[in-house]
Structure 1
Amino acid sequence: MRFGIFVPQGWRMDLVGIDPDQQWDAMNGLARYFDEGDTFESIWVFDHFHTVPAPTEEATHEAWSLMAGLAATTNRVRLGQMCTCMSYRNPAYLAKVAATVDHISGGRVEMGIGAGWYEQEWRAYGYGFPSAKERLGRLREGVQIFRDMWTNGRATLDGDYYQVDEARCYPRPLQGTTAPGSKLNGIPMWIAGGGEKVTLKIVAQYADYANVDGTPEVFAHKSEVLRKHCEDLGRDFDSITRTADYNVFIAETQSELEDRFRFYEETLRKGGIPEARIESNVAAMRRGPAVGTPEQIVEALKGLAGMGLSYAITNFFEAAYDRSGIELFESQVVPALRG
């Protein structure tokens, strides 16, 4: 199994209590730690503007600005966003941004892309909140624009949602053809979401990586839906790497695990999250597959590997404050799953 990891950027309330003038050092320090090791193949950020589980005045650093900064300060790890919202930026412009960051990084960008869902954030920034049909239509057209600009150097499309006329992307990304059987040349494409009629069909058409819900039952079901779409389109199902995101709460004892959850609760409270939101959020976190002792997490991820999961993107809430959970995961979980 392959592993990636999120760098805290504030969206998950994971920079609370760190002064704004020290937050870049905290993020970049972790990125360089991951870059210097060999556990994590990739580092990731979220493409959001307001915090969750509720909007607050705490920091949320912008994803593609971080991509450019981290591209310049790291050397090995690949750089992704899980996931960029198509409608937040014109897709021709975004294709150009991604190509530039690919050059800054020496060809290490991963394009995570999705239709978007955070309604409060959409409306706050003046994007409205279009229907799911429109958001998915924008996703499909935007992905086509990406493909054309990265492979041909230019794109023309008179779509329902986007119109571009000889939009040029020079220099093209450094990266060439990705996964065998992929229809996309250039930056590897991660399409996130589990919509069975539209999103997973777009995955079958364009994606190198599928990113879906990582709970066992849902992962297995979405995988079979994706397989059917691939069969219908003549795409090799195995050419798409199946991935999922995991909030990791790891400890060697139950007492230490409770300490991690207690710190999570206290940090959300300090950041101004309402008590009802804290309670529901903690309850959801406790149900995740990557919660428990190293042995329990290994067992859960091995089961998912048997269902076809081959790339886990991990998130450690406490990463900016305490690396002990990451170190425990690196020393006891990863070797068992790589072996």
Structure 2
Amino acid sequence: MRFGMFVPQGWRHDLVGIEPAEHWAVMHGIAAHADREDSPWESIWVYDHFHTVPTPSLTEATHEAWSLVNAYAASTSRVRIGQMCTCMSYRNPAYLAKVAATADLVSGGRVEMGIGGGWYEHEWRAYGYGFPPVRERLGRLREGVEIMRQAWTTGTATLDGEYYQVDGAIFQPQPLQPGGIPFWIAGGGEQVTLRIAAKYASYTNFFGSPEEFTHKSEVLRGHCEKLGRDFSSITRSANFNTVIGSDAADVERRLAALEARVAPYLGPDVTARFIADYRGPNSLVGTPAEIVAKLSSLRERGLEYVITYQPELAYDRSGLELFEQEVVPQLR
């Protein structure tokens, strides 16, 4: 099993109480921790969003994803760098292909392309993108991935699509990675998203309950068979809200600290829903033994790559270190 981690960037109210002038030092310090030669982390990740969740804040930061990707590309040397996931419609795909190729060169060939259709309606409308129906968002995803694939494998791209048109766009220099930057197609939509993944992805990123993970894996397998793609060539990944403690009391202490930190910004009702997310299927909350047991079960269902989001990293790295010491060695 392979491991990546999200670096806090403010989107999930994970830099509150820290002065904006100090944000980069905090974020870079965590990235540098992951980048150590003896680190168990294969990758670091950011979110591609503009407004905080679960409610948009007029005062709290959300740092822009691709600016951070390039900053990490220049300031780290080993760890791979991704976004989970880039919203296709937020940037013209030809422009995005150029941005990503530059980041890949800066990083020495360490960029991952997480890409999806997008969902956060509030920021879509606030930034002037409208909020097209799912069919259009996924159509843009399909066409955009095709443009990027052409760009990174041929050095040029031409597409007269329903949503995007490019005509001999030139992409030099090429990414350093042979075959282009790997695609992580995010989302579990069975008719469209997983079909796009079966055609283009090196990685998928979806989850839910263990049973849902198994079901979507079989849907992906079916699309691969229809396209003549080797199902085993696609690595299945999932993201997890993660709170780890040395014992049950420590876990509850950490959850209580998280609740106290966000409550002044979210209010009681939203805070309650926010904390409830850490009890759902997309969570790794518990002692090391409990987390190892859950991930071991999911590994038997085909999960190969785990990306953790630990909300306390900007304030306390002891949970990160506990995960490194007592979870990763049991599963790598």
Q: Which of 273, 276, 284 is the equivalent residue of 1:280?
A: 273
Superposition deviation, residue 278 in structure 1 = 1.1
- Preserved contact between residue 214 and residue 245 of structure 1 (Cα < 8 Å): no
- Matched residue, 1:246: 240
Superposition deviation, residue 214 in structure 1 = 4.9
1:28 is paired with a residue whose SS is: helix
Taking the aligned partners of 2:237 and 2:209, their CA distance within structure 1 comes to 11
- Preserved contact between residue 292 and residue 331 of structure 2 (Cα < 8 Å): yes
Amino acid at match of 2:48: D
- Matched residue, 1:23: 23
TM-score (norm 2): 0.98
Taking the aligned partners of 1:20 and 1:274, their CA distance within structure 2 comes to 22
Superposition deviation, residue 38 in structure 1 = 2.2
- Preserved contact between residue 8 and residue 320 of structure 1 (Cα < 8 Å): yes
Amino acid at match of 1:318: E
Q: Which of 35, 58, 61 is the equivalent residue of 1:59?
A: 61
Q: Gaps (5+ residues) in structure 2?
A: none
Q: Is 2:221 the counterpart of 1:227?
A: yes
Amino acid at match of 1:141: E
Once the two structures are superposed, residues 223-272 of structure 1 have per-residue CA deviations (whole angstroms, 9 ceiling, x without a partner) of: 011011111111110000000001111101221111111111112113x2
Question: Greater shift after overlay, 273-282 or 122-131?
Answer: 273-282
Give the length in aligned residue pairs. Answer: 329
Taking the aligned partners of 2:183 and 2:329, their CA distance within structure 1 comes to 27
Taking the aligned partners of 1:282 and 1:110, their CA distance within structure 2 comes to 30
Amino acid at match of 1:132: V
- Matched residue, 1:199: 193
1:139 is paired with a residue whose SS is: helix
Once the two structures are superposed, residues 126-157 of structure 1 have per-residue CA deviations (whole angstroms, 9 ceiling, x without a partner) of: 00000000000000000000000001111011
- Matched residue, 1:138: 140
Amino acid at match of 2:230: D
Superposition deviation, residue 215 in structure 1 = 3.2
Matches within 5 A, 1:116-155: 116-155=118-157
Taking the aligned partners of 2:138 and 2:261, their CA distance within structure 1 comes to 35
Q: Which of 75, 90, 93 is the equivalent residue of 1:91?
A: 93
2:308 is paired with a residue whose SS is: strand
Runs of 4+ in 1 over 6 A off after TM superposition: none
1:274 is paired with a residue whose SS is: helix
Once the two structures are superposed, residues 52-71 of structure 1 have per-residue CA deviations (whole angstroms, 9 ceiling, x without a partner) of: 11101211000000001010
Once the two structures are superposed, residues 170-205 of structure 1 have per-residue CA deviations (whole angstroms, 9 ceiling, x without a partner) of: 0010000xxxxxxxx210100000000000000001
- Matched residue, 1:46: 47
- Matched residue, 2:300: 306
- Preserved contact between residue 204 and residue 236 of structure 2 (Cα < 8 Å): yes
- Matched residue, 1:209: 203
1:261 is paired with a residue whose SS is: helix
Amino acid at match of 2:55: A
- Matched residue, 1:218: 212
2:240 is paired with a residue whose SS is: strand
Taking the aligned partners of 2:8 and 2:162, their CA distance within structure 1 comes to 36
Amino acid at match of 2:65: A
Superposition deviation, residue 330 in structure 1 = 0.4
- Preserved contact between residue 79 and residue 110 of structure 2 (Cα < 8 Å): yes
Once the two structures are superposed, residues 296-325 of structure 1 have per-residue CA deviations (whole angstroms, 9 ceiling, x without a partner) of: 000000000000001000111000110000
- Preserved contact between residue 192 and residue 210 of structure 1 (Cα < 8 Å): yes
- Matched residue, 2:160: 158
- Preserved contact between residue 250 and residue 328 of structure 1 (Cα < 8 Å): yes
Superposition deviation, residue 217 in structure 1 = 1.8
- Matched residue, 2:324: 330
- Preserved contact between residue 33 and residue 39 of structure 2 (Cα < 8 Å): no
TM-score (norm 1): 0.96
Taking the aligned partners of 2:318 and 2:187, their CA distance within structure 1 comes to 31
- Preserved contact between residue 265 and residue 278 of structure 1 (Cα < 8 Å): yes
Taking the aligned partners of 1:92 and 1:260, their CA distance within structure 2 comes to 43
Taking the aligned partners of 1:164 and 1:326, their CA distance within structure 2 comes to 44
Q: Gaps (5+ residues) in structure 1?
A: 177-184
